[in-house]
Structure formats: structure tokens, C-alpha cells
Structure 1
């Protein structure tokens, strides 16, 4: 498993897609692109469409953010290369699934993190047992200021711990800054 991290608009997706394409060409393999974004408004719809247009047309796309460990298990025999874009968006969607319309100041963040952790446990197990070349994209959120609001602070904590777990299991970790790839593990 390869983890690609960095700030927003740093070039993470472009690097992950380049790695996947090189591997696919080298091995004559098909690519599965797991896209975790949800089109919640016109801007997000446009961003998703731009990402789709940037990828090779023959890549298969799975759009979803739940039970991605199962998706990897089911698809790894068909797709020797899998890109999961992006963990941070997956966590955001799962967090909002858990929180619903509740007041962010009254949420049980520890319980929510435990449920999100189960998803990550399953994902990591699927990646560890898969024969596929898996590239996971995530945002590095720890380089900015600490957010003012409870929900944002707690999300930063959860995402930071998840990223540490992913980096620990990854054979390679790449940090992208301003489009420049810095291999920091492997």
C-alpha cells in the first residue's frame, strides 16, 4: 500500500493517478478508482466532474465511502491497481452520517471515532490481504492552525490519528507540497 498525503490542492491526486497509470501500463493492468466524494452542491459536482475528466476514460470508478474494505476485497482480483481518493473525504462523510443533524457541541466524538475506526480497521485489513497495488490519498491536516470550532477540531484529531495508522501500515508514504513529491517512507 502506498499513502499519498499533503495539503489541499497540493497535487496529491495527480501524483496518485500518475503512479497508478505507470503501474497499469507497466503491468498491462486495469485500474479501479474509488472516489469518496459526494456531490452536495454545484461546486462539488463540478469538482467531481473535473476529476473524472482528468482520469483515463478506461479506468473503472466506484463512487462510495462506506465499507471500502469490502469493495477492495471484492474487486482486487479484477483490478491489480486500486486508487482510493480520498480518506479525509471518506471520514467527513462517515462523520456526518454518524452525527446526523445533532448539535456538534453535543456529539459523542469518542463513540463516533470508535465507529469510524472500525471502517479503517476493515480497510487496513483488506489492503494488507490484497494482491492489488493500492494507492490511498489523504489530506494532511496538521500543518495549519487549530480550528476554532469543536467539530473541526475533533475532526482534525480523528483524521490525524487515522493518517498515522495508514502511514504505519503503508510500505511507502509520499508527501506532496506545491506539486512536488517527497517520498518520506519506503
Structure 2
């Protein structure tokens, strides 16, 4: 079944496009959210995303760390939308886990899915070079992650101003 990677900049329309793609497949869509409401601003962002999804009967799961397990548990249940990989990466790194090992396990699992997986990710390497080592390390890790997931994806789309550009 399809593995789709949707990437782009902040507020580019990635999530809306990914939701549309998920709804195009048969079955009840499953929304796997990786964000955690650690401050008031994130609470507002999460609430806005939930409100936009209210019209569709999504099964929602909040999975800040154990993404692979959530994908294993939901395979075959309906199209799955993971929003987003870059927040998951941040969570993994902040928790002190081996992000490269977690990423390789995730990539290895993508073959032979029973139901589609749509990943949303941010293209963080297009901006200025961060001024500190931690931010540069995260930017580099995100770039590597996006390449690995793109390699195992059947389709890759880059979203600019709400418009998809097919890369693969």
C-alpha cells in the first residue's frame, strides 16, 4: 500500500493537503499526531488543527515518541496520517533516544503496509544556518530523516503556498 511523504515550509498547507490525501483512500482515516502541548502557543496550534478536522470522522492518536508502535497497531485499519515527522524527531532527540536507530526501524517497517501511510514533515534546511550547535544538529538530522523516508516512499510532494509539486 502507498507510503506518501508531504514536505514543505511552515504554514505552507502541508497538513491540509495531507488530510485531503488521507481522505481519498477507503476506510476511516487515522490521525497520528506527534505534537505535545508543552506551552500555550502549542495548545492553540493543536486546538486549531483539531477544529479543522472536526468535520471528518478521524480516529485520533497522540503519539509523541512511539511512532513505529502506533503504525504497527494501526496497519490495516485505514489510511494513516502522521503529522508530523519533524516534531517526532524533536521529541526523540529531546528524550535522549537514538534518533538514527528509531528512524531506521521506522523506514524498514514501511515495506508491505496493509494500509496507506501519509507522512507530513517540514523542510527545515531551506532557511538560514542556525547560530547554535543544537539547532544545526536538529536541522541536519531532519534533512537526513527526510531523505531516508523519501527513499522508502512511493510518492513525495513538496507544498508551496498550498500547492503541491510532485517530486516522486
TM range (shorter): over 0.9
Moved segments of 4+, more than 6 Å: none
Name which of 14, 31, 43 aligns with 1:12. 14
**Cα distance in 2 between the residues matched to 1:70 and 1:39:** 21
> Tell me, which stretches of 5 or more residues in structure 2 are unaligned?
none
Name which of 115, 118, 125 aligns with 1:132. 115
> Tell me, which stretches of 5 or more residues in structure 1 are unaligned?
99-111
Greater helix proportion: 1
**Cα distance in 1 between the residues matched to 2:29 and 2:161:** 26
Task: Provide, for residues 13-40 of structure 1, a one-character-per-residue CA deviation record: whole Å limited to 9, x for no partner.
Answer: 01000111122xxx2x111110000001
> Which residue does the alignment assign to 2:75?
76
Aligned length: 165
State whether residues 33 and 62 of structure 2, in contact with CA within 8 Å, keep that contact through their aligned partners in structure 1. Answer: yes
- CA drift of 1:120 comes to 1.3
> Which residue does the alignment assign to 1:42?
40
Specify the structure having the higher radius of gyration (Cα): 1
Task: Provide, for residues 103-156 of structure 1, a one-character-per-residue CA deviation record: whole Å limited to 9, x for no partner.
Answer: xxxxxxxxx6xx111211222233223211110000001211110011100100
Task: Provide, for residues 28-59 of structure 1, a one-character-per-residue CA deviation record: whole Å limited to 9, x for no partner.
Answer: x1111100000011110010011011114410
**Cα distance in 1 between the residues matched to 2:70 and 2:87:** 17
With normalisation by structure 2, the TM-score equals: 0.94
With normalisation by structure 1, the TM-score equals: 0.85
State whether residues 70 and 126 of structure 1, in contact with CA within 8 Å, keep that contact through their aligned partners in structure 2. Answer: no
> Which residue does the alignment assign to 2:102?
119
